[in-house]
Chain A
């Protein structure tokens, strides 16, 4: 006689609150396949934990966002925010779709060049560009977004010394009604600093002023904030036109549209609360179209969206290492990945699904990672079927900021697999190993 699948015996006291939880079974539907590729199959082929990215989903997201903006505004250009996920394979998908590159360091700049992006389609942001970065970017005709006066004066000096005429924009910070204000980056709008910087640039023979830029925050939930930002940038562009008789080529509104993840502490899941890209597009394009520019002088609208384009294309697959009951009676599940791989568990209550059919009974538990430290919590409280050692789980919407901000701590970083349009799998970054980890280390003579 074949034996029945075992499930740990379980008892729970019933009360009004719990009935709800038993009613939300759909949350725990097992996810056995991603884009029709078997989760179990991938874990046995590539090991656990494992990041998985869907190429189809990236393309769907990109094409959808482009369609939403292009049906509202004639000139739209997306620039892929490298820091969000700079795996070369991922960047190349965006570039194939027509996206430029948005980078914030010499390292990212080199990656963009390596991915075949033409210099004049690279936007160079951020406060940390050294002299050789600036020279290279200027020689390549890249769009250099100035963050502060020190950088502006360095660039003026370098342009004179090297006979360059870089194409530049300034980053503007402003009050859009969102707190905390991101006033650390760029020149302030309200106190006139941004206008002064634009005047300084417009009066320089060595610089070509081509645009204005802002990035008002990340995971922004307010389309109105973008309307304010668009109006302020239009005001600056209008000022440049009036005062210097020159129309700026573009207005860059940065990134910041939310993904449908659930922010920690949010009462409702992100899928129910997050505004759609359409709402942001309406807010932005209504302002620019209504500002008064003639049709042929409308600036190109650049967007540097990151997380909204990739979060839901990424998954993290993992395995239960152990379960236990804590001294306060709570159930704890220990997974083979933690904060080290899933950095975004600091911000999000990630949705986690079992990767196999389990019993109908569910229980509330805390999910820990394997790191030997107290902060290594993947979910403080999640209701899941009864998990046991060896069960596999799928974490959803992890495509943004994990494969770049992950930490190498205690163990190796996991491999990343891409599922292509035909559902073939490809390793796009191998798992780390001892050789890779020790490659840069050197032992002083006396310790050999």
Chain B
């Protein structure tokens, strides 16, 4: 689960893939997760960090994260 090296991200949640020319918009939590992923930390740590900060049930977040990851892969943001 690694963010491709050439993907440009902004704190406001805009992403740009220079290879394809596609740009993307995420919400605040999405941007945060992508920043965490960029640090190459294990998934469990991403989950810990988010669950600490947000009022969310861990199981629910795990499910949402799994789906989010699938979407990121679909958009070729993750390798």
Contact = CB atoms under 8 A, between A and B. Distances in A.
A6 B61 contact: yes
A11 B25 contact: yes
A9 B26 contact: yes
Interface in A373-414: 386, 388
A6 B68 contact: no
Contacts of B77: 11
B5 interface: no
Interface of chain A, main secondary structure: loop
A4 B55 contact: yes
User: Which one of A8, A11, A12 has the highest number of Cβ atoms from chain B below 10 Å of its Cβ?
Assistant: A11
User: Which one of A7, A13, A359, A388 has the highest number of Cβ atoms from chain B below 10 Å of its Cβ?
Assistant: A13
Contacts of B26: 9-12, 361
A73 B4 CA distance: 73
Nearest to A386: B27
A5 interface: yes
A325 interface: yes
Contact of B27 (A3, A359, A388): A359
B71 A11 contact: yes
B40 to A, nearest CB: 18
A11 B1 CA distance: 16
B11 interface: no
Contact of A6 (B22, B55, B75): B55
A13 B27 contact: no
A14 interface: yes
Interface in B3-41: 15, 22-30, 33
Given A13-B75, A325-B67, A6 B56 contact: yes
A9 B30 contact: yes
B64 interface: yes
A7 B56 CA distance: 9
B19 to A, nearest CB: 14
A5 B54 contact: yes
A32 B72 CA distance: 34
A12 B64 CA distance: 15
Interface in B53-78: 53-56, 60-61, 64-65, 67-68, 71-72, 74-75, 77
Interface in A338-366: 359-361
User: Which one of B15, B24, B27, B71 has the highest number of Cβ atoms from chain A below 10 Å of its Cβ?
Assistant: B27
A361 B27 contact: yes
A30 B15 CA distance: 28
22 contacts: A3-B55, A4-B55, A6-B56, A8-B29, A8-B64, A9-B30, A9-B65, A9-B68, A11-B15, A11-B25, A11-B68, A11-B71, A11-B77, A12-B25, A14-B23, A14-B24, A325-B67, A359-B28, A361-B25, A361-B27, A386-B27, A388-B60
Interface of B: 15, 22-30, 33, 52-56, 60-61, 64-65, 67-68, 71-72, 74-75, 77
